[in-house]
Structure formats: structure tokens, C-alpha cells
Chains A and B, each alone.
Chain A
Amino acid sequence: MDLTDFIKDFDKTIDSAMSWATDHGGLLFDLVRAALEGFFDLVTSGLLLLPYWAVALVAGAIAARSLGWKAGIATAAGLTFCQMMDLWSETVETMCLVLVSVLLAILIGAPLGILAGYRPRLSQSIDPVLDLIQTLPPYIYLLPSIAFLGYGPATAIAATVIVSVPPVIRLVAHGFRSTPVEFVELGEATGTAPRDAFLKIRLPFALPSIMAGVNQSLMMAFGMVVIAGIVGSGGLGETIYGAVRKLDIALSVNAAIAIVILTIIIDRISQSAATHRRPA
């Protein structure tokens, strides 16, 4: 059987659906774009108003509180080093891209994860979708994003949200699913209302898993945010992309170092939040 025609037809349908969506959904996409960019600009420009040393001090203090004073000093020193490489605004932009994307991923993923945790059936139908999202190469998501939202940070955020949602859904669902059965019974046998059973029994047990989900989501976002340099995300990703095109090896190495510093800081801080909440 010759499938060529069928595939051509299929591709045409997809193409026309895309153009239909851009033609008719223009207003919607403009709104989404404006909202994403507005939020991102707000956070970024807010952070850039502060002198770099203030940000470094605050980040150092947070790290010191959750990981100890050595980590605090290393964090402050790492961020200062980013400034010394003259990559401060790019570093802040990347950090904001990641934080904004993960915040949105949590807003979308947490309710779905909670539902999936309570209803194994729903979980079964969500899982293949999450598998698909996580199997496809991440830069695939730049294509629809750029088609609908155009060149710029909004596209980067949209694509980053897509790749960082699955770990949130999975680990939130896992957290709520794995309440030990005797505690579920405790809730029922004491006549606990569903809302209290959720807040006072299931949530404490789910918290470590939820925080692990946030940590993984952050790491996925870091991976994507660099790739999103291609679509004009701003930040270190775009610096690296530009440096690679000009074969400016020194600059790309500097930007890579800044990304490593930022990733380690955010990974360690979010990881410690996950482990500290584990009930012993």
C-alpha cells in the first residue's frame, strides 16, 4: 500500500490547521505573548534594578540557611564571578526565564498531579502523554511556540513550560498516590472531611515528592532555556548561540560557566528543600 499520498494529506491538514490557528487565534496568542513577556520583563527588570552584590548577598544568605555557610559563600562568590565575566544581566535573565517557567509549570502541573494522584484511571491516560513529551527532542517544542508566539522570550518560556511540566505532574501524583494505606484509613476512621484529609494527611506525606518534582522541573527548564537561545530568549542561551555562530569560543565558555554556576546553585537549594521536608 502506498502511504505517500496519505502522509502528504496529513501534513497538509496539519499545516492548514496551524495557519487556521494563527489566523483566527491571533488575538489569543497576542494576549498570551503579552502576558508571558510582561511577567518575564517585570521580574527581570525588578531584579536588574538591584545592584549585583545585593542579589549575590541574598542568594548567598538563602544558600547559607539551607545548606550551610560554605555553600552560602560559594553561592555569593559564584554570582560575583558571573558579574566579573560581564554576564550579569544575561545570568539574571536566564534565572528569571527558569523561575518564571517553573512557576507556570507548577501552576499547571500541580492540580493535574493531585487529580492523577487521587484517580489512578486519569493517571493511566496522562502517563502516555507525559512519556511522549519527555521522549521527543526538546527543541521540537520551539516550532509551534515560534509559529504562534513569534521570536522572543515568550516563545522560550512556552517551550520551557512544556518540558518542565511532566516531572511536576508525575512526582506530585506519586506523592499523593503513595500515602500509606493506614493513614488513609486513619483519616476515614476518625471521620476526617476530605479537605482535611488532603491538607493534614496526604499533603505532609506528598511534600518530599512534590519538592523532588520541583527540583527536576528546574533542571529540565535549565536544559531548555539554553536551547531556547535560538528563538531569541535573551539571557545566557542567546549569548551561547551568538558566540557559537561567530566561533567566539572564549565567550561561549564564559557563558557556559555562568550557566553551570546558576544551575548548581538552584539545584542544591531546591534539593535541600526536598530532603529537609522528608518526615523521618
Chain B
Amino acid sequence: MTDADTPLIECRNVWKVFGERAREAIASIRERHLGKREVLTEFGCVVGVHDASFALKKGEIFCIMGLSGSGKSTLLRLLNRLIEPSLGEVLVKGRAINGLGKTELRDLRARTIGMVFQNVALIPTRTVLENAAFGLEVQGIPAAERRRIATDALARVGLGDWLDRYPRELSGGMQQRVGLARAIAADPEIILMDEPFSALDPLIRRQLQDEFRALTKSLGKSAVFITHDLDEAIRIGDRIAIMKDGAMIQVGTAEEIVMNPADQYVADFVAGISRIHLVKAGSVMMPPADFTDAPTAALEQTGLDADIDALIHLVLASPHGAVAVSEDGDLRGVVTARTLLEGLKGDHAPVAGAA
């Protein structure tokens, strides 16, 4: 396996059990493969994370979505060992972090994994600049250099004019930008985001979501992003994991999850999600044989990934009201105004092979 293929973070069958008899519970889980409920009734222990496995790829934003109590914050803290796993292992850049000594662990947290908190945690007696430079300061970087780096990070989040203000003078959204600047100032490869935008009002939240995604991508960072808001997960995440009762019940792209929910729980969640921006040609086309209005050769061609805007444009422009979908020159299906509407409504049966 080459370096580029090694996942930045890999979680292998990680469990976290809370309670006085956690050790016994873990032994039984290992031997008898007990589930969450059995652990609670037999040992009185609460399972925080239930056999979670996933990998964070380089350059990816991985969202973990779940309601409160689903174990998502616990899982996030297992990734930089703020919480020790009860069972299973976490690998960062191919190295198991369970065995790291104090200094190595500090080094990992200081250089490789940054973290942004829901309540921001800006130190009230420090200025914006001093807060943004905090991580560098405790790493022992000289004052002039950390000032330069932190100033640059603050400029990136649009706070270049606020360096000498105090946190209390900033709005919630601005404070969270300082939190983000503090995380990126240390230049970590991975950023852990613990529901950072949950407390903000909707308009600011959307703005920050877009900025965060753009910034992460432009800096080439990877992120694990915790949220209880599926809309947010879809907006930000390259992939999304849905957590319930400590377990990951589905992992996939936004489109996969919305179009093919794994179970009723996920289905209920995605029921309220607008499908409009997830619709791709591949998921709303009908088989070519069903299209009889015109020879398919006469239609405009598009790819499986064409999005809703492109499809509407093509369908409206076509004299036959349809567009052909092909992949590598093979005709795969046809999208018409009717199939588009059915796809948006949600009970359109996708053609076999399409996502």
C-alpha cells in the first residue's frame, strides 16, 4: 500500500463502554458478541460507541450525523484519544495511537490533529490573535513567527481586522471563525469538528458551512465533522455516516443515503431532505427501451453525473423533451420531464445499476 492510499484515520471495530463493570462487559462482548442492550442489562454499562469502523481518506470531509446521545461526540474524542477506546483500535496515518506515549500523543495532537469545539473555547483574557496563536504558543514557536502564522490564519477566515479585540466583542459566528483559525494555524492534516456551527443562527451557519468546506478543500486538509443536522452533513460532507445508539448504521455519499436509506430510521431522517440537489441523471432516467417518442440517437447526450440544473436545461432545450444519458459511449437511459418529476417526488424506481 502506498502512502497516498493509507487512510489518514482508520477506526477498526472501536467500542467505548462506560460504567463500573466496563472491563467485564468488554470481555463478554469479545467472547460472546453481546449487543448494546445485553451489555446494559447484564452489566449496567452504557455503550457509547458500538463497534464503529470507518476510514478517513486524504482530502475528504467525513461527516458523522446523529442525534444527541448517539455517541458521535464520544467517537470523535476517540480519534485523538481524549477518550480511550474500550476495544478496537484507531490508526492515524497507519500508526495505532493506543500505544503512543505521553510525548508522542502530545505531538500528534499538536501537529497532526486539530480540533474545533461546539462552544468555541476562546480564552476570555486573550485577544483574538493570542487565541488563534494558542496552539503555536504551547508548541514553543517564537512570538514573531506565531504572530505571523496566526495573523495569516485569521485573515483566511475573514478576521484580519479584529486581531486585537477580545472574544467578548465578537459575535458567535466570528468567535467560531477564531476557533477555526486556531485549528488551522497549527497546520494539522486532520481537523476534528465537534458540532461547531450548531449554536449559530441559520444564515450565519450556512455561510460558515460553505466557507469551511471551501477553506478545507483549498488548504488540502481532511476533516471529521460531527453534526446533528442532516442538511449540514449533506452540505459539507463528501461522505456521511449516520449514527444511532453508538453504532454507524449507514455510511455513504449524500446521494446514496438520501436515495437509498439503509433502514427505516435513516428513511425517516431523509424524508425531510430536499432531493433537488442530490438528483443526478443516473438516478432519474428511464430505460432507453421505454422511450418511444423519438429515436434516441436524435437526443442530446449527457453523462450519469449531470445534475438537476443541467438536466432541466437540456430537457427544455430538446425538441423531444428528453435527453439521452450515456456512459463511455453506451446509452444507459433517457431523462424526460416526467422522469425528473418522479425522481424528485421520490418513488421513482431507479434503473438497475444506477446509484
> Number of B residues whose C-beta is below 8 Å from A?
28
- Does A7 lie at the interface of the complex (its beta carbon under 8 Å from any beta carbon of B)? no
Which residue, A187, A193, A201, A204, has most C-beta atoms of chain B within 10 A?
Answer: A193
Shortest Cβ gap from B76 to chain A (Å):
10
- B274 contacts which chain A residues (CB < 8 A)? none
**Which residue of chain B has the shortest Cβ distance to A280 in the bound complex?**
B168
- Does A182 lie at the interface of the complex (its beta carbon under 8 Å from any beta carbon of B)? yes
- A196 contacts which chain B residues (CB < 8 A)? 137-138
Shortest Cβ gap from A211 to chain B (Å):
14
Shortest Cβ gap from B194 to chain A (Å):
9
- Does B119 lie at the interface of the complex (its beta carbon under 8 Å from any beta carbon of A)? yes
**Which residue of chain A has the shortest Cβ distance to B126 in the bound complex?**
A204
Whether the pair B121, A186 counts as a contact (CB closer than 8 A) is yes
- Does A192 lie at the interface of the complex (its beta carbon under 8 Å from any beta carbon of B)? yes
- Does B40 lie at the interface of the complex (its beta carbon under 8 Å from any beta carbon of A)? no
Whether the pair B109, A204 counts as a contact (CB closer than 8 A) is no
**Which residue of chain B has the shortest Cβ distance to A279 in the bound complex?**
B124
Name 27 interchain pairs, CB-CB below 8 A, sorted by A. Answer: A182-B117, A182-B118, A183-B123, A185-B82, A185-B121, A186-B115, A186-B121, A187-B138, A188-B82, A189-B80, A189-B82, A189-B113, A189-B115, A189-B192, A190-B134, A190-B186, A191-B105, A191-B107, A191-B111, A191-B138, A192-B138, A200-B123, A200-B134, A200-B138, A204-B125, A279-B123, A280-B166
Which residues of chain B have a CB within 8 Å of any CB of chain A?
A: 80, 82, 105-111, 113-115, 117-119, 121, 123-125, 134-135, 137-139, 166, 168, 186, 192
- B105 contacts which chain A residues (CB < 8 A)? 191
Q: A189-B80, A200-B123 are known contacts; what are 5 more A-B pairs with Cβ within 8 Å?
A: A185-B82, A186-B115, A188-B82, A190-B109, A192-B106
8 Å CB contact of B117 from A186, A193, A201? A186
Shortest Cβ gap from B206 to chain A (Å):
24
**Which residue of chain A has the shortest Cβ distance to B119 in the bound complex?**
A182
Shortest Cβ gap from B47 to chain A (Å):
22
Which residues of chain A have a CB within 8 Å of any CB of chain B?
A: 180, 182-183, 185-193, 196, 200-201, 204, 279-280
CA distance A230 to B124 in the complex (A): 48
CA distance A196 to B82 in the complex (A): 18
Shortest Cβ gap from A179 to chain B (Å):
11
Label chain A's interface by main secondary structure: helix
Whether the pair B123, A201 counts as a contact (CB closer than 8 A) is yes
**Which residue of chain A has the shortest Cβ distance to B116 in the bound complex?**
A189
Shortest Cβ gap from B221 to chain A (Å):
16
- B139 contacts which chain A residues (CB < 8 A)? 191
- B82 contacts which chain A residues (CB < 8 A)? 185, 188-189
**Which residue of chain B has the shortest Cβ distance to A277 in the bound complex?**
B125
Shortest Cβ gap from A201 to chain B (Å):
7
Whether the pair B135, A190 counts as a contact (CB closer than 8 A) is yes
Whether the pair B124, A191 counts as a contact (CB closer than 8 A) is no
- B137 contacts which chain A residues (CB < 8 A)? 196, 200
CA distance A134 to B117 in the complex (A): 41
**Which residue of chain A has the shortest Cβ distance to B109 in the bound complex?**
A191
CA distance A134 to B304 in the complex (A): 79
- A189 contacts which chain B residues (CB < 8 A)? 80, 82, 109, 113-115, 192
- A201 contacts which chain B residues (CB < 8 A)? 123
- B119 contacts which chain A residues (CB < 8 A)? 182
Which residue, A190, A193, A279, has most C-beta atoms of chain B within 10 A?
Answer: A190
Whether the pair A183, B109 counts as a contact (CB closer than 8 A) is no
Whether the pair A190, B110 counts as a contact (CB closer than 8 A) is yes
CA distance A186 to B121 in the complex (A): 7
CA distance A279 to B123 in the complex (A): 9
Which residue, A183, A191, A196, A200, has most C-beta atoms of chain B within 10 A?
Answer: A191
CA distance A193 to B166 in the complex (A): 25
With A190-B138, A193-B138 as contacts: A204 and B115 at CB distance below 8 Å? no
- A185 contacts which chain B residues (CB < 8 A)? 82, 115, 117, 121
